[in-house]
Structure 1
């Protein structure tokens, strides 16, 4: 773990954790110096936290609570807000910038874990491991057959289509290439030529990728452009018999459209670590069909509880990097992973 930066002058800083999680701030306390006071409000709503705590904090490290125009006027001293994870849609970037507050995220704590999870879902479908295990548990004798693997696919020579070639997308693509797969990606934000050193192929537009990919692997942020980017129209463009795997953000996929894709056979299998509403809701048509587990869908859907990021090591990295991002900025102005740079004209 990096040693905290210590100056000769003793200045006290207060970092507010508004959310109910983590359970304790022991990891965070060990990651910073004695000049920091960590306040753990353990709440889910802004109004439940004493106004004095909002007004007196120098930094905020947040997981789920929105930091928006309701909250920001009460941040009298705050200089930095850190979203303790990759996504930062709970932060109002422009409003924070208007107040002179920088916003950061922690984009790299679980890169390998999420990439591994995406590949694990692909392998689970291709080799049928989970489906055949479940079938054997139901009837060891009658189901002792390879025919219970309804999603089997040879990966060597197949096309692995990555939507979003950032840290995680690249890591997943490198793993897929080790299986002999062709790598095709779509990322309109990636500079031209960035793929050349990797030896990947670039799709000109999203439909081009969808029409060629045998496995669609999603690694996109959630914003106005990506929300429900997988919908009825885009599902119709998917190569028949493809897998779709999403370990990014739930709302980038319309689950009703995914369900129809499964019904039609356009999608052979769907693996989701994330859902539009979490925890999963029985009202979600895909979740309802997965729970019902009718023969036509059995073995074709994998759901995980937004856990792709997790390993004990990643959990420590996430919490350490989150608090140190705030701490180092307060102590010596070191700014990393700022997500509202283009909006900030003058930071506090």
Structure 2
């Protein structure tokens, strides 16, 4: 059996016992202690690596030259936009992701954001801890709606989008989706409505929940034109990738009242750096117009101990399948968007 070395550059775990057990006796597991980028990994570790497993760390073209033996990159998560797939393809390096972890968690969080906004949970939380607190009574707001009176629009019906759609349906929402890559029949199988175009989905979505991957086709997919196609007083939820949604346009639509509320687990640049998007700056400053209407969380929708266990195990299994056994498990084609 060939001998391989697999590098986990971020030092995510206190030991490598699980990885050694899954990958097998013929594979050495190397750990780095890099915090922000592959440029922090020692040259001798890079020179040994046949496989690379990264969670938060990008894999840019300029770093690939430091990995002369590299055959497989496993992105330890669903999204693969942090890996320069064109540069990997030019080197014959296979790129994989882990598409089947955290599905329940992200779907639940998306629906939770919508419910917290639509039922006034965040509104009353914010107003009751104000100084002075709001009166002990109903706060008039365009946010608050009955689920059964609304359509929950799902943009992207992959694993997470499907799980979100089923949860929203169970709560009483009418559910519609748009996904140009999905074959006919999904709507009938799930008992939800299919929108032929994005515009058709937007026009009926009292809640828009974004579940698309970040690709060339989806970057900036939802801008001001699209947001203004939503019914007035809609709610927007994004638990996918920040650059899919134009947050400056979202702020304008929130400020003028066309969009009633927004729940974002992702923003265009993570972690955010100065100059911050105006929306994030207003939210952190607790500007009056954001009260009860905006919630931003730090890309944690996936987080449970069980999801972290899945990331670790499924990443190691994917690396074993592709690097050691020559299978095509979770391989992202170079020509994919």
Normalised by the length of structure 1, the TM-score is 0.89
CA RMSD between the two structures: 2.2
Deviation of 1:177 (Å): 0.5
Look up the match of 1:67.
Answer: 59
Distance 1:150 1:294, change over 3 A: farther
Counterparts of residues 50-129 of structure 1 (less than 5 Å): 50-129=42-121
Most deviating of 256-265 and 147-156: 147-156
Q: Tell me how far apart the structure 2 counterparts of residues 66 and 35 of structure 1 sit (CA, whole Å).
A: 27
Look up the match of 2:8.
Answer: 17
Alignment of 1:335 with 2:328, yes or no, is: yes
What runs of 5+ residues in structure 1 fail to find an aligned partner?
A: 1-8, 344-348
Secondary structure, counterpart of 2:328 in structure 1: coil
Counterparts of residues 127-138 of structure 1 (less than 5 Å): 127-138=119-130
2:311 corresponds, among 307, 318, 336, to 318
CA contact (8 A) 1:132 1:149 kept: no
Secondary structure, counterpart of 2:100 in structure 1: coil
CA contact (8 A) 2:127 2:291 kept: no
Q: Tell me how far apart the structure 2 counterparts of residues 55 and 115 of structure 1 sit (CA, whole Å).
A: 39
CA contact (8 A) 1:127 1:149 kept: no
Counterparts of residues 159-174 of structure 1 (less than 5 Å): 159-174=151-166
CA contact (8 A) 2:114 2:235 kept: yes
Alignment: residue pair count:
334
Look up the match of 1:270.
Answer: 262
Deviations 1:231-266 (A, max 9, x none): 122122221110000000011111110000101211
Look up the match of 1:36.
Answer: 27
Most deviating of 73-82 and 119-128: 73-82
Deviations 1:24-61 (A, max 9, x none): 54553454434332212222333332333223212110
Most deviating of 170-179 and 278-287: 278-287
CA contact (8 A) 1:27 1:316 kept: no
2:223 corresponds, among 222, 231, 235, to 231
Deviation of 1:123 (Å): 1.0
Q: Tell me how far apart the structure 1 counterparts of residues 236 and 319 of structure 2 sit (CA, whole Å).
A: 36
Deviation of 1:214 (Å): 0.4
Look up the match of 1:4.
Answer: none
Distance 1:281 1:268, change over 3 A: farther
Deviation of 1:273 (Å): 0.2
Q: Tell me how far apart the structure 2 counterparts of residues 95 and 233 of structure 1 sit (CA, whole Å).
A: 34
Q: Tell me how far apart the structure 2 counterparts of residues 149 and 30 of structure 1 sit (CA, whole Å).
A: 55
2:189 corresponds, among 179, 194, 197, to 197
Secondary structure, counterpart of 1:234 in structure 2: helix
Alignment of 1:253 with 2:231, yes or no, is: no
Q: Tell me how far apart the structure 2 counterparts of residues 259 and 134 of structure 1 sit (CA, whole Å).
A: 19
Normalised by the length of structure 2, the TM-score is 0.91
Alignment of 1:306 with 2:289, yes or no, is: no
What runs of 5+ residues in structure 2 fail to find an aligned partner?
A: none
